[in-house]
Amino acid sequence: MRRAVGGFSPRYVRDWDTWLHAHPDERRQLFGRILRNWQATRPVRMRRLRVEATHPSPFLDDLLESAAEPIRVLAGLTVLTIAHRTPEQHYALTSLWKNLARLPTSGVASCVGITKPLLLLTDGRIGPAFDSRVRRALGVPRPSTSREWLSTLEGVGEDIVASEASRRLLSKAVPARFAHLAYGRLYDMALGRRDQRGKARTPLNSVFGREEGRTMGHQVRAKCLDCGRTFKVDHGGGFSFHLLRCDTCGKTKSMAFDALGELHARYLKGLPGPYSIATAGQDEDIGEHAPVQPISEAECYKGIEKVAGQCRCGGSYRLDAPPRCPKCRSTRVEEGEITVMYD
Ligand SMILES: [Zn+2]
Ligand SMILES: [Zn+2]
């Protein structure tokens, strides 16, 4: 995730910095300039400000003026809370969809031409913008009505809220210079990564890891509820290894994908999409070209556990063994905040 966001086009990042730090008076000019950079209404030309326009009205000023009140109503609403919007906010979103559809000088804007300016106008709170990369990564069709768009956004919001862990991961996983960004835009950046190749078929949850409970690697503080010992617990593997845990003493062991050789290649081949966004390009090469037979996730996990073997204590290393207190081996462990991300 860190790499996915960090690898994003510097120009896009610069556009956002400029926008977020701009004085309200400068924003009218900037709005058009940034959206032209982003080719929001491609291939049709975008409307211009009254002073610079060579086309008939409405002008960009008019669209921005009618967007002002709905944007004010949306203050505080984000992609995380969009499912709980008030009727007034619902009306505001619908009217923005209609209003921004007039952005091109002819015809009606596509969902890209509407969701990009909206991401900008809400300072990144309502996103992602549904360009083709984002739609492919999410596996969703092009929303053609405001209703379809809102229900897709609700899905994205649910995905982010699904677990507190995912949410903390998302805000912790991005480089510090992006820490102030709103979720809609973070999501947009993670999914819209420019150098993601080919026909990505990434499922929605793979932004945060393969599945809930086996998200990207992170370490949390923990406390044993039986003996009171405090310690740290590692969860999940990283982009290059699996993390196993002894089912008897709780000791962990990591298995590098490289060390697994063909087993990992067969696993990648069996996946419906890349293992993670960060390794997408490489994974798809293997998925498409490696001369191996695909295996299911369950078969692969069984194979990894076999390779990992036995712990010195006599227990077995498992991918799904619960964390244990290192002192009394109790599994009654209370977990606290995340201290380290180790993608
Ligand atoms: Zn053990
Ligand atoms: Zn204990």
Q: Tell me which of 274 and 209 has the higher pLDDT.
A: 274
Which whole number is the average pLDDT over 157-171? 59
* Contacts (Cβ under 8 Å, ≥6 apart) of 151: none
Q: Is the pTM of this model over 0.75?
A: no
Which whole number is the average pLDDT over 174-197? 51
State the pLDDT at residue 299. Answer: 82
**Centroid of ligand 1 to alpha carbon of 244 (angstroms):** 11
Strands 230-235 and 214-215: unpaired
**Centroid of ligand 1 to alpha carbon of 243 (angstroms):** 14
**Centroid of ligand 1 to alpha carbon of 318 (angstroms):** 10
Q: For 186, phi and psi rounded to 5 degrees? A: -55, -45
**What is the arrangement of strands in the sheet containing 230-235, beginning at the earlier edge strand?**
230-235, 218-224, 333-341
**Centroid of ligand 2 to alpha carbon of 231 (angstroms):** 10
With a pLDDT cut of 90, the percent of the chain lying above it is: 32
Query: In the chain, where are the structural domains located?
Result: 2-195, 215-341
H or E, element range at 181:
none
Is residue 228 pLDDT above 90, yes or no? Answer: yes
Ligand minimally distant from the alpha carbon of residue 331: 2
Q: Are 78 and 93 in contact (CB under 8 A)?
A: no
Ligand minimally distant from the alpha carbon of residue 310: 1
**Centroid of ligand 2 to alpha carbon of 334 (angstroms):** 11
